[in-house]
Amino acid sequence: MDGLLVDERDAVLHLTLDRPDKFNALSADLVHAVADQIDHTTARVVVLTGNGKAFCSGADVSGDKPSMDTLHAANRLTLTILDSPKPVVAAVNGIAAGVGVSFALACDLQVVKASAAFMLAFTKIGLMPDGGASLLVPAAVGRARAARMALLAEKIPAAQAAEWGLVNHVVSDEDFAAEVDRVVGAAAAAAPLALARTKQSINAATVAQMRAILGLEAAGQESLMHTEDFAEGVAAFQAKRAANFHGR
């Protein structure tokens, strides 16, 4: 579909978000298309990346306001990545923001360009983290750092993300493609049944509450989408100005 490049070769499924003019912002249809590809692939490894300067900037708020359809699609993709027996590698080529962070962290491995960064930007438009970020981020970096990211919407550079334990591979921009190939090659050559069981046990130890957390996020997000603050946040984003929130 428009906005997604699919390339399956040498037992590896490459999925590239292809909306570079919008920093790979997402619609519900695009997110479902990614999940469909992961669900139906016979490849041994999946790679998720972005085209252009961004990995994924989250839900598209440049036109219509994001809807619960987008959130439900995002929740489906997070669960699809976690539940897939295949190793899923996030090749983070640029900024990951909003639910883009959720998807990167749901992946089993992240190979990240040194120039990339991570940002839970939800509160800037009057929303809360979704796509499982409420669990994925603290599972990786702890409650204090997760609160800093989620409440203050600070941009975390790749090197700092690696130092915190948010991601597991950060390499120079020049070495990025080679490191993605190395990591993917190692995963593709490993015993697939052993990888599947290993992934299952790690996820059981770290994100077993994911479905409950997705439910909490969905309920909270649906409530927030009816607030004046959300309308103001989207309007401010579209006008490229600071938002003026009033708590209503």
What confidence tens digit (pLDDT) does each residue in 115-131 have?
999 999 999 999 999 99
Reported as a pLDDT band with limits 50, 70 and 90, residue 93 is very high
Please report the pLDDT score of residue 50 as a whole number. 98
53 — phi, psi (to 5°)? -85, -10
Residues 40-77: tens digit of each pLDDT: 999 999 999 999 999 999 998 876 667 799 999 999 99
CB atoms within 10 A of CB 34: 25
Lowest-confidence pick of 139-143, 146-150, 200-204, 237-241: 237-241
Lowest-confidence pick of 14-28, 61-75, 131-145, 232-246: 61-75
**Crossing angle between the packed helical segments 99-106 and 68-83, to the nearest 10 degrees:** 10
Please report the pLDDT score of residue 64 as a whole number. 66
Amino acid at 110: Q
The CATH H-level (homologous superfamily) assignment of domain 4-173+192-239 is: 2-enoyl-CoA Hydratase; Chain A, domain 1 (3.90.226.10)
Please report the pLDDT score of residue 61 as a whole number. 84
Helix (H, G, I), strand (E, B) or coil at 216: helix
The reported pTM is: 0.95
| Burial environment of residue 125 by CB neighbours within 10 A (0 to 12, 13 to 18, 19 or more) | buried
Please report the pLDDT score of residue 35 as a whole number. 98
| Burial environment of residue 204 by CB neighbours within 10 A (0 to 12, 13 to 18, 19 or more) | exposed
95 — phi, psi (to 5°)? -60, 135
| Burial environment of residue 112 by CB neighbours within 10 A (0 to 12, 13 to 18, 19 or more) | buried
Please report the pLDDT score of residue 21 as a whole number. 95
Mean of pLDDT over the chain: 96
Query: Are 245 and 233 a contacting pair, CB within 8 Å?
Result: yes
Residues 135-169: tens digit of each pLDDT: 999 999 999 999 999 999 999 999 999 999 999 99
